[in-house]
Structures are given as C-alpha cells and as structure tokens.
Amino acid sequence: MRIAQPSTELPLRPQVELSGLWHRYRGPASSGDWTLRDIDFQLRPGELVGLLGPSGCGKTTLLRLIAGFERPDRGVVRIGGQEVAGPQRWLPPERRGVGMVFQDYALFPHLDAWRNACFGLRRGQDSSRAAWLLELLGLKGLEQRYPHELSGGQRQRLALARALAPGSALVLLDEPFSNLDVEVRLRLRAELPGVLARCGASGVIVTHDPEEALAICDRVAVLEAGRLHQCASPQELVNCPATAFVGRFVLQGNLLSAQWQGHRLRTPLGWLEPEGPAPLDAANPGEEPLQVLLSPQGLELVPDDSAEAWVVGREFLGREWLYQVQSDGRRLRLRLPLSADYERGQRCRLHLRAGEPARLFPGGQPLRAAAELPV
C-alpha cells in the first residue's frame, strides 16, 4: 500500500488581505459616522469576489481603500503580501499595481481605442498584451475609433482592456455593467470570469444586484451599514445565510416575528417546527427578538374581503407572478403561479405553505412550516 506523504506546498498567499479595517469620511458635509467597521476580508489568487449590499453600505468605499484612493482610519491593507496601507505605511495608488474599471468607463475622449488601451503601460513596456486583450474582448479592428464612436458595451470592454494591459494581477470593478442595456449587461458579465482567468488576474466587483453577484462570483461579501455580514460562496449564501439581513437581501426573503410555544414557533401567519430538536433555551430565548426568514415561495394567499392584508403590487416574471402584499405594517413578497391572478388592492389572507423550509434568527436554525391553518 502506498502511503500518502504530507504536502510540502505552501498555501497560496492572499491577493488582497484586509485586517481590522475602519473608515469614515470627515468634513462639513459628512456625518462623521463610520462608513466601514472592523472589516476582515481575503481575496484568493484567481478569485472573483463580489461586494454586495444596498446603496450607502460601504461597497465603493471598500474598493477605494484597496485601490488607495482613500486611507483607512484603522487597520491594514495588504496586496500580494505587501502592506500598502497601515498605521506606519502608505503606498499611493499608482504603485499598487491595481487595475480599475469604473461605472462611467473613465476613458480619455481625446485618445483612440488603441491609445486608451495602452495608457497604463510603462515606458518601453511591450504593447502586445494590449493587442491580445483587444482581440480577446472583441475590439479588434476598432483600434482607431474614439470612445464616442463606440457603443456602451464596447467602451466597457475597452476600459477592462486598459485595466488588464499592464499585467495587473488585481482588477477592481465599480458597478461596471449598471449603465448598459440588459442584453449587453448579461453578455459582458458572463464573459468577465473567463477574461480574468485567461489573464491570470483576481477581481473584486461592486454590485447591488444579488442575481448578478450570485451568477458570476466565486464568493460574495454581503455588507450592510459598513459591516460585513458574510463572505461565502453563492451556494452557502443561499443555503446557510449567516444573518437575517443576508437572507432578506440576497434571497429577497420575508422576515416574520416569532415566539417559542413549547417545541414549536408561533408566527403571525402560522406555526413552524424545528427540523431537529428544539434548542434548550427555547422557553427563555434571551433579549434579542426572534425572526423567521421565509422564501417568497413559502407563503400562500387566499382572497378574503374581510381580511386586513391587501395586494399592493405585482410583477410578471414570465412563468410566475411576484406579488407584494401589505400585512400588519410589513410588505411581504410572494411568488405564485400565473393562475393566481389577483388585482392590486384585493384583500386577502396569508398563511404559511405547509412543509416549506424557513430559518430562525439569531442562530440560523432550519425550520419547516407545520400543516396547521393560520394562527
């Protein structure tokens, strides 16, 4: 029998490492609140990580700290194992070897596509990589065109070529697809991971679209109000959200208040049962209020003119409806088949769909909706 020998290979050094990072803006127009709070984060070589969260959560600020456009108040930033920002160290953006792709392209209008692509090259650096990137990104033959002569998708491809041409091992992308039409956005975001892999580059992309982040990223970092809730693979985010916010924002789920009664949980819309044993402290759950996370498929709607809930909106999704229903001060989302045709303003009752999964927070314990009628 051949005995496996222990590996002598050293683990790959993180491409980006953030340790205990804090930041806030100062000045007359600033509130002085922390924009980022105690962020720990690593980007592995060859990985594409998405920064996901609502507007104002600190996504772009985090990107700017990595690039060197902002200085942290506390903590350390390392790129390729080198400390580039810390209490006693500061490296300016031009010395960090980072490529940037902006939302508005940031191309030079007086330079043609070729000179834009070559702009970041050092004096005497071989330009063959720029030519290869223009061909890889479908821009061959357009080298003499100026930015205003290119489509939005072509301009964003050119911005990506310029970021990668100097041989950058790290590319930062700030909502690069938000100004593009749907067809071009879908095509470009599908191509991005392959382009980075061909170039041997790692990437961090800022987005507020959960679908986009889950579709193309190896891992997704979810932020809210300057705090990092979870950084995990798309599968882990969907199957095991670390907090109620992650479930609500990433999965577009519904949150309901809950209370233990015996070994079951009572919610305003029905009963839930733990998939395993009830926790030992179920009868005395502590100070933090309990919340249950339900998917939009976990609720049912029944027309009832005497009910206090009503339909406030709906969206056609092709094979189903996405309804929004107002109930007890909450706006809940429901995905229902096309046969469930309800008008705005229609009164209705809501209850849990029997057998549907749910999660209890804090703790994330898996639950199942019981078969009883609404409470």
Residue 301 has pLDDT above 80, yes or no: yes
DSSP H or E segment with residue 324: strand 320-327
Q: How many domains, the chain?
A: 2
Q: Provide the pLDDT for residue 120.
A: 87
Examine residue 245 and state whether it is found in any structural domain, yes or no: no
Q: Print the domain residue range for 125.
A: 16-239
Examine residue 6 and state whether it is found in any structural domain, yes or no: no
**Do residues 309 and 330 share a domain?**
yes
CATH of the domain at 227: 3.40.50.300
**Do residues 224 and 351 share a domain?**
no
Tokens of 279: 């926790």
Residue 19 has pLDDT above 50, yes or no: yes
Q: Provide the pLDDT for residue 371.
A: 73
Q: Range with the lowest mean pLDDT among 6-15, 28-37, 124-133?
A: 6-15
Examine residue 190 and state whether it is found in any structural domain, yes or no: yes
**Do residues 293 and 365 share a domain?**
yes
Examine residue 246 and state whether it is found in any structural domain, yes or no: no
**Do residues 273 and 357 share a domain?**
yes
Given a contact cutoff of 8 angstroms between Cβ atoms, the answer to whether 178 and 159 are in contact is no
**Do residues 127 and 162 share a domain?**
yes
First to last CA, the chain: 63
Tokens 């088949």 map to which residue?
337
Examine residue 278 and state whether it is found in any structural domain, yes or no: yes
Peptide bond into 362 cis (omega under 30): yes
Residue ending a domain, choose from 190, 218, 239: 239
Question: Which whole number is the average pLDDT over 16-33?
Answer: 85
Q: How confident is the model at residue 345 (pLDDT cuts 50, 70, 90)?
A: very high
Phi, psi of 337 (to 5 degrees): -65, 165
The pLDDT mean for the chain works out to 89
Percent of the chain's residues with pLDDT above 70: 92
